[in-house]
Chain A
Amino acid sequence: GNSVTQMEGPVTLSEEAFLTINCTYTATGYPSLFWYVQYPGEGLQLLLKATKADDKGSNKGFEATYRKETTSFHLEKGSVQVSDSAVYFCALTDLGGTSYGKLTFGQGTILTVHP
């Protein structure tokens, strides 16, 4: 079946540091890959996505590249801000499965950024 593995957290960084959150996946079909973010007290919101191999998703200074050869979708940001403190979820949907759109999530990574 499908699965997503994220690096263990929590991650604590100083403002303006470089961020990488690793994400690898296993899928039976043709996955689309997503990063969702949950800010304190809010629901999940889409941060970025990529729907085919070698696509790069980007938003708010965050980037992730869909690497089919390494089955990875690592999230990066060059300079984090305190406002980036949140929980980050890597996820996939697999068009080869029985339910289109069904998201399979990683366990989430808590990011805390200090001034």
Chain B
Amino acid sequence: EAGVTQFPSHSVIEKGQTVTLRCDPISGHDNLYWYRRVMGKEIKFLLHFVKESKQDESGMPNNRFLAERTGGTYSTLKVQPAELEDSGVYFCASSQGWRGQETQYFGPGTRLLVL
């Protein structure tokens, strides 16, 4: 069974440009989460999809970030326009279940550097 995959693995862009990150969860997992780790700080929650619906987007930093999950399969996270403070590692995770105790399976992350 394939794990969670993320694309690209690395991205270097200039301030003001747009970047789109993609996450493919484990097949059949209804829950998809996005997290971010800014250098030197803890991993922080961004948002949670259940199938194609946003269950919780309380962690999204501002309206420059837009997440979608069309058809309840893969998800994209777009940053437009990117700012220096958006640099960090973006993780995606998926799980199945609704009790909140389930194991989340993480992708390898996308390392974003905004210059």
Partners in one complex: yes
Quote the shortest CB–CB distance from B112 to chain A (angstroms). Answer: 15
Number of interface residues of A (CB under 8 A): 26
Check B33–A95 contact: CB distance below 8 A.
no
Q: Flag if A32 contacts B45 (CB, 8 Å).
A: no
Q: Judge whether B63 is part of the interface by a CB distance below 8 angstroms.
A: no
Is B56 in contact with A49, judged by CB distance below 8 angstroms? Answer: no
Do A107 and B56 touch (CB < 8 A)? no
- Count B-side interface residues using an 8 Å CB cutoff: 29
CA of A29 to CA of B1 in the docked complex: distance in angstroms? 34
Instruction: Point out the residue from B31, B41, B91, B109 that lies within 8 Å of A101, measured CB to CB.
Output: B31
Residues of A within 8 A of B104 (CB): 46, 101, 103
User: Which of B44, B55, B98, B108 is close to A105, meaning CB atoms less than 8 Å apart?
Assistant: B44
Query: Does B43 sit at the interface, judged by CB under 8 A?
Result: yes
Q: Determine the chain B residues whose CB is within 8 A of the CB of A94 once the complex forms.
A: 100
Decide if A42 is an interface residue (CB 8 Å cutoff).
Answer: yes
Complex CA gap A89/B102 in Å reads 17
State A37–B111 Cα separation when bound (angstroms).
18
Can you add 14 more A-B contacts, CB < 8 Å, to A36-B106, A104-B45? Answer: A42-B108, A45-B105, A93-B100, A94-B100, A95-B101, A98-B56, A101-B98, A101-B102, A102-B33, A102-B48, A102-B100, A103-B35, A103-B43, A108-B42
Chain A positions within 8 Å of B, measured between CB atoms, are 4, 32, 36, 41-46, 49, 51, 89, 93-95, 98-108
